[in-house]
Amino acid sequence: MSKTRRMVLIAMLAALSTILLLPILQFPLLPGIDFMKVELSIIPVLIGVFTLGLGDGFIILFIRSVLWYLLFNQGPSTWIGVPMNFVALGIFMAIVWFFTKKKFSIKNYTVGIVLATIASVLVMMVLNVFYALPLYRLAAGFDVDKIFAGATHLFNMGSLSVTLNPTYLLTVVLPFNALQYIIFALVFGLIVTVFKKNKVVKFYNA
Amino acid sequence: MQNMLMGRYIPGDSIIHRMDPRSKLLVMIAFVVIIFLAHDWLGYLLLVLYTLAGVLLSKISVSYFLRGLRPMIGLILFTVIFQMLFTNGQHVIFSLWFIKISTESLINAVYIFFRFVLIIFMSTILTLTTPPLTLADGIEKGLGPLKKIKVPVHELGLMLSISLRFIPTLMDDTTMIMNAQKARGMDFGEGNLLKKIKSVIPILIPLFVSSFRRADDLAVAMESRGYQGGDGRTKYRQLKWQSRDSLLVVSIIIMTILLILWSKVS
């Protein structure tokens, strides 16, 4: 594949990924809980990883993050959420890629997905404790410790207060993220199956 | 579907429209940082006046800015109500069962409200007054120093431009595919979680296929016109940093100094 084709495909997948951030293409995990929506913007990124390689997957993820800031900027939630999303999805796709780069089989894919989900959920929990929650507390005055009991104060970083709240982590962060990554895995698995069957695009390890 | 994009460029000839995208980007990023320096009504008043000046100078109807707030109303209200109910204060003005609203919690809620609104307004000023491709050029130029550490800045800029150019096209494709599936009796967002996931697949696959086809067409068009990468290429759209851009950057520096001084004094 020529350099130009590669660049155009990266750009197109980044645009697709951005479109999948539209509210109309998201669906709530639980009816009525609007902020717990699943967006499938990682699917084009994963397709990029399996057609172009892991490095290009990260470029797609980066461009999509820049576009997210430019087109869907929703104040503090975007400024805090996008870097966290980048890290978690980056880890997820890197682990899936590592286990399936030699051969894309159901066994390899399942092992990759399980480990990637565990790693990404753990990273999300750590980022929530040390990054997101302290910043939300500062930026939006939103303190989950006032809703979920059992928080332990760890330390202060300047004007940021870092607390550990197991109740919130285990009842909100863990199930939501785990379910989200399982949905990603299912959708991507279905798409890969269809694409392979119809020879839509060449997956170089599938 | 196009209306779902928070800041669509609105052509105009205001002073803000004519500014360099780099200065606008710089000011927006700085604004997001300095908003946390405001701790009282005077600090927020300064920020409100600064944002208001931007809105007025852009000569764009306020309705466009309010439209940008629409997707955020739920989150803003939730955060504001949360502040009112969960901030402990000395002077309780309303008490019912476990709900206590104090003067401090109300003031805090107002500050948080302004923080959200001002950040969104500033972002909206940037996107409403800057054509997407000019914005991409600005980002590319802004990343220029990274060339020294072998980051392919031109390529990143080009990919960003292509993405921005194709988002409206792919949105139209999405609308068309969704309408076609609806005409075939497809129900989106109905049923349980598994059904919802299944209903997304018939949108995604045709969307991917059409975008791969578009990517192929564009690559052929670029190669047939002799595109061979960024080395030695000139630009059709030239960015010029002018005195008004320097003034804009100076204005945000002055704002920062004022807020720092005021937070030290109070």
Q: What is the pLDDT of residue A200?
A: 66
Nearest to B170 among A8, A19, A141 (CB): A19
Q: Which residues of B touch A12 (CB under 8 A)?
A: 162-163, 166, 170, 211-212, 214-215, 218
Q: Measure B43 CA to nearest chain A CA, in Å.
A: 15
Q: Measure B112 CA to nearest chain A CA, in Å.
A: 6
Higher pLDDT residue, B190 or B18? Answer: B18
Q: Could you give the count of Cα atoms lying within 13 Å of A27 in the half-sphere of its Cβ?
A: 20
Residue type, B158: L
Is residue B215 within 8 A of residue A2, CB to CB? The reply is: no
* Confidence class for position B101, pLDDT limits 50, 70, 90: confident
Q: What is the DSSP string of B71-113?
A: GGHHHHHHHHHHHHHH---SSEEEEETTEEEEHHHHHHHHHHH
From residue A7, give the alpha-carbon distance in Å to each of A18, A122, B138, B212: 17, 33, 19, 12
Q: Measure B254 CA to nearest chain A CA, in Å.
A: 22
Q: What is the pLDDT of residue B79?
A: 79
Q: What is the pLDDT of residue B141?
A: 79
Residue type, B91: H
Q: What is the pLDDT of residue B188?
A: 64
* Confidence class for position A58, pLDDT limits 50, 70, 90: very high
Higher pLDDT residue, A131 or A23? Answer: A131
The overall average pLDDT reported for chain A is: 83
Q: What is the pLDDT of residue A30?
A: 62
Rounded Cα gap, residues A171 and A74, in angstroms: 26
If residue A157 lies in a helix (H) or strand (E), which one and from where to where?
strand A152-157
Is residue B243 within 8 A of residue B187, CB to CB? The reply is: no
- B253 pLDDT exceeds 70? yes
Mean pLDDT in residue range A160-176:
86
Nearest to A18 among B163, B196, B204 (CB): B163
Report the first-to-last Cα separation within chain B, whole angstroms. Answer: 47
Domain range A1-195, its CATH number among 1.10.1760.20, 3.30.160.100, 3.40.50.620, 3.40.50.300:
1.10.1760.20
Nearest to B36 among A63, A70, A139 (CB): A139
Task: Take residue A170 and report the two structure tokens written for it.
Answer: 């285990």
Q: Is beta strand A27-28 parallel, antiparallel or unpaired with respect to A152-157?
A: unpaired
Q: What is the pLDDT of residue A29?
A: 67
Percent of chain A whose predicted confidence (pLDDT) is above 70? 88
B149/A contact by beta carbon, under 8 A: no
Yes or no, beta carbons of B83 and A141 under 8 Å apart: yes
Q: Which residues of A touch B1 (CB under 8 A)?
A: 22, 24
Which range of A29-43, A123-137, A189-203, B77-91 scores highest in mean pLDDT? It is A123-137
Q: What is the 3-state secondary structure (H, E, C) of B165-221?
A: HHHHHHHHHHHHHHHHHHHCCCCCCCCCHHHHHHHHHHHHHHHHHHHHHHHHHHHHH
The overall average pLDDT reported for chain B is: 81
Closest among B262, B35, B8, B30 to B129, alpha carbons compared:
B8
Percent of chain B whose predicted confidence (pLDDT) is above 90? 15
Yes or no, beta carbons of A14 and B159 under 8 Å apart: yes
Q: Which residue of chain A is at minimal alpha-carbon distance from B78?
A: A142
- A56 pLDDT exceeds 80? yes
Q: What are the pLDDT digits (tens) for B187-234?
A: 666 566 676 676 778 888 888 888 887 898 999 998 887 886 766 767
B200/A contact by beta carbon, under 8 A: yes
Q: What are the pLDDT digits (tens) for A108-153?
A: 899 998 999 999 999 989 998 989 989 877 777 767 777 788 888 7
How far from the centroid of its chain's Cα atoms is residue A18's Cα?
A: 13
Yes or no, beta carbons of A40 and B155 under 8 Å apart: no
Q: What is the pLDDT of residue A48?
A: 92
Residue type, B130: T
Is residue B134 within 8 A of residue B237, CB to CB? The reply is: yes
Residue type, B96: L
Backbone angles phi, psi at B110, to 5 degrees: -65, -45
Q: What are the pLDDT digits (tens) for B48-69?
A: 999 989 999 998 888 888 877 7
Q: What is the pLDDT of residue A34?
A: 54
The radius of gyration of chain A's CA atoms, rounded to the nearest angstrom, is 18
Q: What is the pLDDT of residue A196?
A: 72
Mean pLDDT in residue range B6-26:
83
- B6 pLDDT exceeds 70? no
**The tokens 């509210």 sit on which residue?**
A23
Q: Could you give the count of Cα atoms lying within 13 Å of B128 in the half-sphere of its Cβ?
A: 27
Nearest to B119 among A10, A16, A76 (CB): A76
Yes or no, beta carbons of B82 and A142 under 8 Å apart: yes
Q: Measure A23 CA to nearest chain B CA, in Å.
A: 8
Per 3-state DSSP, chain A is made up of helix, strand and coil in percentages (nearest 5) of 70, 5, 25
Rounded Cα gap, residues A38 and A29, in angstroms: 7
